[in-house]
Structure 1
């Protein structure tokens, strides 16, 4: 009989930690002192919206100061089987070949600039190599073929991973997926099962079921983000997408849920049910076999905490999964202290070094 463990927070600021109560999980959780201490959000970021706004402003600051230029010491473009273009952005590329590598999967509209803060923090806290897997059409990559997925493509990710492993065959691999990137990570891990090449993985602010999670995004953010996606990925590529019968409908998407429903043909599927069946991470979630930590904030306005509820009890029975939730933290923010440092990057780093 499985014994499920949920640590009741000592105070409202302490993380809640849920897991299957086996010896490995017990040892790991006990070794992570960060989980036994309160997470106190940055005082002057007084709610989820201010944390999210500050997160966006900090990303903009990295871009304006061109900090990415010194952070990423090597980048390369990869041509996929259909001619599409992805890229790898490396930080710590010249570290010894046996140095562990963290494979980072970015957010829904992520770029090397927008992910620079997390790349920097993970590098500083672990001393390891970081590689950002850039998806089609993101950053400065042109969309060369009519193929694009809001949450990424496991086929492309496999191609990127094969290249990473070829470059550094003796480097232990770890993985972080953030927001939409966590969906791609979970889908890949479920498809691969015990063959996944990672020693451990971390899903940060996942939305869980992609068939429903976009409908739970705060309405204002959902409209803003959908317009940004159309402006960034659809409008500049109308000539590339002109062969798609659904191309015009993408331009009229009103929110993220609407855009996701209309994206199936661009993602390479004949209809929405086929798209959902073959890309939804929760369809294969229970097939994950490697150690996985999941972090959600209860006040997240993008990936709402209600998305977790259908899966919470099942996650507690999976012997390789540890679920962490915090009362505050917003979406991919989790800033702490007066100087707004990343609590989540500290947790990721400690987890990888302890697992």
Structure 2
């Protein structure tokens, strides 16, 4: 067989595999007149096709692999876990990885998923550390990772006041370290809300939001029914049943326990989040209300086949994002929810490399 014939067969095989797996070049939404064009030119990963692992081309198989299989295979021990007492007596924590690095090494603050814990975030912590060589500070919210819950207060999307205290603690530990931020799934709600409230006052130099739902008041409306029911039961198991004595004073607890879906949970649990009604809750929590005040560089990544944070959630904000010179939204055809695996036998996160390369572009 001639070399040219071999190349032709290889090209045909590659094209067939791309079609089978749904490989496509990512789409990008940004202000072409702003600074984002120069940033994108330095990210060759976005100029090539994202080729998802062929046997994970189905969105449900991809999510199952991410959430059940891959998480159990990651071996990582955190250097230290510091429990923090908030001003109202509530308890959060910061889990560290890379504590032995020089004091001036940058630190990535990671904000976890809706029921995230130390084990579920190991892969992202490991990957970000490997790709950047930087220190990682995983900020654990109230009730996560079996933390004590002395105060009857929790939030699906976290509290910006808690995050402010956690960030202040991180800065106190490493005052010479530049800070960056990554939010994953529900953690993106906290990240963007915090960035919008802080504006130019935030200590973060750049941030990355992985698979956001955008408007938290509507974000659960299009979630796949199966995941909605499963995740609702997981919320009960994680945040309510282990702390039943803590929640006794909350009058709306029986109503919350009666819900069946995430959308119903989000609409009914506002008292558990520390608010008198749903309106005051959403005004304080929803990142969309302050999104236009985000001033630092921010990249967002969504998959068009995400069964949890549906791509429909992005549609109302396309035109706004294309007028903001500091925000870039990237979408891929495949990737499911927070997975974005590539490779055949040695699967790895395409998204984690993109996060790391994007954040490294914003070093001095």
Matches within 5 A, 1:52-63: 52-58=63-69, 60-62=71-73
Question: For residues 38-86 of structure 1, what are the alpha-carbon distances to aligned partners after superposition, in whole Å with 9 as ceiling and x for unaligned?
Answer: 1010011121111100001235414xx7x233xx111110000111110
Aligned to 1:16: 27
SS at match of 1:130: strand
Q: Give the length in aligned residue pairs.
A: 340
- Kindly indicate whether the alpha-carbon contact (under 8 Å) linking 1:18 and 1:316 is maintained by their aligned counterparts in 2: yes
Q: Tell me the distance in 2 between the aligned counterparts of 1:113 and 1:12.
A: 30
Aligned to 1:347: 354
Q: What's the offset of the Cα at 1:23?
A: 5.5
**TM-score (norm. length: structure 2):** 0.91
Aligned to 1:184: 190
Q: Tell me the distance in 2 between the aligned counterparts of 1:75 and 1:156.
A: 16
- Kindly indicate whether the alpha-carbon contact (under 8 Å) linking 1:102 and 1:131 is maintained by their aligned counterparts in 2: yes
Q: Tell me the distance in 1 between the aligned counterparts of 2:164 and 2:216.
A: 21
- Kindly indicate whether the alpha-carbon contact (under 8 Å) linking 2:57 and 2:334 is maintained by their aligned counterparts in 1: no
Q: Tell me the distance in 2 between the aligned counterparts of 1:268 and 1:23.
A: 40
Q: Tell me the distance in 1 between the aligned counterparts of 2:103 and 2:170.
A: 12
1:293 maps onto 2:304 in alignment: no
Aligned to 2:170: 164
Q: Tell me the distance in 2 between the aligned counterparts of 1:343 and 1:148.
A: 32
- Kindly indicate whether the alpha-carbon contact (under 8 Å) linking 2:71 and 2:123 is maintained by their aligned counterparts in 1: no
1:41 to 45, 52, 67: 52
Q: Tell me the distance in 2 between the aligned counterparts of 1:215 and 1:335.
A: 26
Q: Tell me the distance in 2 between the aligned counterparts of 1:280 and 1:46.
A: 32
After the TM superposition, list the runs of 4 or more consecutive aligned residues in structure 1 that deviate by more than 3 angstroms. none
Question: For residues 116-149 of structure 1, what are the alpha-carbon distances to aligned partners after superposition, in whole Å with 9 as ceiling and x for unaligned?
Answer: 0000001000000001000011012121110000
Question: For residues 71-124 of structure 1, what are the alpha-carbon distances to aligned partners after superposition, in whole Å with 9 as ceiling and x for unaligned?
Answer: x11111000011111000000012101100000000000001000000000100
Question: For residues 146-191 of structure 1, what are the alpha-carbon distances to aligned partners after superposition, in whole Å with 9 as ceiling and x for unaligned?
Answer: 0000111101000100000111111111000000000000000000
Q: Which runs of 5+ in 2 are unaligned?
A: 1-21
Aligned to 2:147: 141
Q: CA RMSD for the aligned pairs?
A: 1.2
Q: Tell me the distance in 2 between the aligned counterparts of 1:61 and 1:26.
A: 39
Matches within 5 A, 1:273-352: 273-338=279-344, 339-352=346-359
Q: Which runs of 5+ in 1 are unaligned?
A: 1-10
Q: Tell me the distance in 2 between the aligned counterparts of 1:213 and 1:24.
A: 29
**TM-score (norm. length: structure 1):** 0.94
- Kindly indicate whether the alpha-carbon contact (under 8 Å) linking 1:59 and 1:115 is maintained by their aligned counterparts in 2: no
- Kindly indicate whether the alpha-carbon contact (under 8 Å) linking 1:202 and 1:293 is maintained by their aligned counterparts in 2: yes
Q: Which has the larger radius of gyration?
A: 2
SS at match of 1:44: helix
1:86 maps onto 2:87 in alignment: no
Q: Tell me the distance in 2 between the aligned counterparts of 1:126 and 1:46.
A: 28
Aligned to 1:150: 156
